[in-house]
Amino acid sequence: MDKLIITAALTGAEVTKEIQPNLPITAEEIAVEAEKAYEAGAAIVHVHAREDNGSPTQDIEYYKSIKEEIGKRCPVIFQPSTGGATWHTAEERLQPVDLKPEMATLSTGTCNFGDDVFMNSKEYIVKFAKKMKENRVKPEIEVFEPGMIANAEYLIKNDLVSTPLHFDFVLGVPGAMPASAKNLVFMVGSIPAGSTWTVAGIGRHETPLAMMGIAMGGHVRVGFEDNIYYKKGEIAKSNAQLVERVARMANELGREVATPDEAREILNLK
């Protein structure tokens, strides 16, 4: 197996200070959290920007500040979201790609997202893929439903993305594909040969799916975007605390954790 790449999803767009008091909001807070996650074993930090009042934003200037602050502190792979919040327009969501990060997320389909709908039409998907290719940004294909894999294959056939692709299976979002061992195995078996993959379990599913991802040879995402608890009834102290647990599990299973540079090699980042 390749070494294990741990991604820390630091903030998300839905979590608030009211439900997770330790949520980082400002560029400096997010950068400090990124550094702690890196020290705990994270090679990638997945970032949603927030305004000073905590509202989610896709404004490029906020992402620029966060990227610069993280760069001062640690060598992790900076991976901004192009998902944003469900109400952001495609143009707003695309702004971070102009920073030319090494990676950015690319969601390849529409799905129910709690009480909302996360809209990704074919027009959006193609537009995002073209923008990333122009800027030489490796997409992380975010998959919430099986049909999104077929949409990613459409991008391959039309030379809109470069292979091998890297997928992130986000399982357990209310309204989308449930989190289960059966569903993860199905998703992994459905992606193009040679692809790499990460699994992100939502809420209480985070830790069980992380353990499965480690054992199956995939990679793992944890963090406040997906889960605010360390265990039932106990709010997590930091993203690093969640990363540390994955690193410990990997150690128990005899799988080494990748450094950022090792992750770059595994993911074929230029």
pLDDT at residue 149 tops 90: yes
Q: How do residues 209-252 score in pLDDT, each as one tens digit?
A: 999 999 999 999 999 999 999 999 999 999 999 999 999 999 99
pLDDT category at 1 given cuts 50, 70, 90 is confident
Mean pLDDT, residues 123-145 taken together: 98
Fold of 6-266: TIM Barrel (3.20.20)
CA 46 – CA 166 distance, rounded (Å): 14
pTM of the model: 0.98
Scored b (16 or more CB within 10 A) or e, 45-82 reads bbbbbbeeeeebbbebebbbbbbebbeeebebbbbbbb
> Domain-by-domain residue ranges, the chain?
6-266
pLDDT at residue 270 tops 80: no
pLDDT at residue 131 tops 80: yes
Whole-number percent of the chain with pLDDT over 90: 99
Q: How do residues 60-99 score in pLDDT, each as one tens digit?
A: 999 999 999 999 999 999 999 999 999 999 999 999 999 9
pLDDT at residue 30 tops 80: yes
Per-residue pLDDT, 119: 95
